[in-house]
């Protein structure tokens, strides 16, 4: 198995945290890192002890769910709660931060923000990051890097393609599937 980069490692951590999200609209995870060490993590969800969106539905006002605390703020608050400084740290987040999170990130002294997916990227947020000298980098997350069953899935897929061939499917019928296999796995090897 190929060793993943630090950026992909921390982004994977953020995606793992997003799996804990209780928001039904968008699952987001955030990881705060200093000197290649994780110092905090957060996901979007309700405050401790309150109802969750997955249980009660979103509480939407002005097109925003007011029930949740965003992942970035939850990670920053974890640092505040346990006395861990954030000044000069890096933030890895699954989605581009909203404007209020951007302000909190800047105020906390975060120096680098790495995000996997664009999400309503606010031009003013970008302007604020630039004014504050916060480096913002888009790092697409490659989920295949952490798919521990990738080879098994490829083998099964190729076995099914070969079964289709043996049942009389033509090359023209199979070609679109082979193309998709190559897109998903980066290769197509005859089983």
Helix (H) or strand (E) holding 173: helix 171-185
Q: Which of 51, 55, 72, 159 is catalytic?
A: 72
| CA 42 from centre of chain | 12
- The answer to whether 127 is a known catalytic residue is no
In this structure, are residues 12 and 146 in contact, taking their beta carbons and an 8 Å threshold? yes
Tokens standing for residue 136: 């913002």
Could you tell me where the beta strands, DSSP code E, fall in the chain?
29-34, 37-43, 45-46, 60-61, 64-65, 68-69, 90-95, 112-117, 135-138
| Residues forming the active site | 72
């Amino acid at each position: 198995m190929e060793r993943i980069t630090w950026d992909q490692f921390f982004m994977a951590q953020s995606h793992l945290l997003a799996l804990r999200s209780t928001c039904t609209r968008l699952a987001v995870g955030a990881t705060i890192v200093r000197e290649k060490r994780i110092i905090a993590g957060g996901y979007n969800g309700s405050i401790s002890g309150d109802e969750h969106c997955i249980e009660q539905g979103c509480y939407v006002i002005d097109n925003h769910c007011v029930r949740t605390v965003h992942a970035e703020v939850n990670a920053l608050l974890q640092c505040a709660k346990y006395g861990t400084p954030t000044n000069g740290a890096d933030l890895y987040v699954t989605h581009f931060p909203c404007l209020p999170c951007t302000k909190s990130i800047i105020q906390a002294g975060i120096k680098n923000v790495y995000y996997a997916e664009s999400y309503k990227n606010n031009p003013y947020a970008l302007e604020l990051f630039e004014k504050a000298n916060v480096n913002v980098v888009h790092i697409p997350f490659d989920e295949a890097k952490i798919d521990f069953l990738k080879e098994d899935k490829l083998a099964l897929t190729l076995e099914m393609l070969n079964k289709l061939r043996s049942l009389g499917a033509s090359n023209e019928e199979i070609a679109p599937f082979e193309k998709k296999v190559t897109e998903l796995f980066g290769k197509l090897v005859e089983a």
